[in-house]
Chain A
Amino acid sequence: MTEGEMNAPYSLILIAVMAVVTAFVRFSPFILFPEGRKRPRVITYLGTVLPYAVIGMLVVYCFKGTSFMVYPYCIPELAASALVIGLHVWKRNTLISVFAGVVSYMLLVQLVF
């Protein structure tokens, strides 16, 4: 038995807690507004606009670990992002845009900065 597994029962309990809490967060809208039950119109409205707002939130969320204040000042992120956006506006091909973004970003962080 390895060091981390010394307290296996307690680790199992913690994993169960994390799994239940995560599932609870994901299930709660469906529990609050079950299928076949009438729901307030405002909820339907939020459902239609949230995907747009959330994708904006997620893009910013991806940048939370970076800093404009210290070297390399987000230059790899900004350069690769500009490439992704530019390529996508031009070609509209998700795979090409993502692939080019990842490759350029990997080159920048591994070889340049």
Chain B
Amino acid sequence: MTKRTFRRAFRDSLPIMAGYLALGFGFGVLLQSKGYSFWWAILMSCTMFAGSGQYAGVDFLASGATILTTAVMTLIINARHFFYGFSLLDKYKGMGVFKPYLIFGLTDETYSIVCSAQLDETISKRKYFVFLTALNHFYWIAGSTIGAVIGGVLPFSYEGVDFAMTALFMVIMVEQWIRSEEHLPVILGVATTVVCLCIFGADVFIIPSMALIAFELLLFRKKLDKTEVERDD
């Protein structure tokens, strides 16, 4: 069962492998270009495990940003992760000693797979989540280490590999669309974020988007809430 579970987790992590190796590589190259040896890339990828957060982090390190600036900017950049736990309160129940690691490793990609994976009884959920998170973490650390060691010179251009993340999210969106009869939440998610991106610009649109999405979902609760009956405790 463990072998089967690992195989499934590995298969599901393949799109993420491509993206994380490439994005991690880019991060490693960027960090070493600011004069940091590869140990720093390993340290950051091990302890943060956050794509856009680490890219911004290179700037904070290189410019010697204040602690307050670093904290506030990291909070803003990673704010979207605040949403993720709410859908996993039940799913991550009873995960035991690994639970803190699973929560620590809740990246956009891990979250989207955890939410959408259809696992039957032959798969141990607990092991699957742990394998998936650890594999993704490994790809990320490996990519950033290689990037920091090599430092930007590759015999081929990997420009565009990071489209793997975009493609993965779109595939999950299509899967959800086909499987679900209710399309309002995803429409609200797309429309609200587009409008906020246009109004607030690429640097700060995520927090207003999140606030508006939460507000709209609450507004449409009567129509969308199907948890009432089963959770009547």
Taking beta carbons and an 8 Å cutoff, which residues of A are in contact with B? 2-5, 7, 10-11, 13-19, 21-23, 25-30, 33, 35, 38-39, 41-65, 76-77, 80-81, 84-85, 88-89, 92, 94-95, 97-99, 101-102, 105-106, 108-110
Q: Please name 6 further chain A to chain B contacts, defined as beta carbons within 8 Å, in addition to the given A52-B182, A54-B84, A98-B164, sorted by A numbering.
A: A44-B231, A60-B189, A60-B190, A64-B197, A94-B171, A101-B163
**Of B84, B176, B187, B214, most A-chain CB atoms within 10 Å:** B84
Cα distance, A12 to B196, chains bound together (Å): 35
**A contact face: mostly helix, strand, loop, or mixed:** helix
Contacting residues, chain A, for B174 (C-beta < 8 A): 85, 88-89
B32 to chain A, nearest CB (A): 8
Contacting residues, chain A, for B167 (C-beta < 8 A): 80-81, 84, 97-98, 101-102, 105
Cα distance, A16 to B15, chains bound together (Å): 30
Q: Are B48's CB and A57's CB within 8 A?
A: no
Contacting residues, chain A, for B35 (C-beta < 8 A): 2-5
Taking beta carbons and an 8 Å cutoff, which residues of B are in contact with A? 11-12, 14-15, 18, 34-37, 40, 43-44, 47-50, 53-54, 57, 60-62, 64-65, 67, 70-71, 74-75, 78-90, 92-94, 100, 103-104, 106, 108, 111-112, 115-116, 157-161, 163-176, 178, 180, 182, 185-194, 197, 202, 205-206, 209-210, 213-214, 217-218, 221, 224-228, 231, 233
Q: Given A18-B53, A55-B112, is A42 in contact with B87 using a C-beta cutoff of 8 Å?
A: no
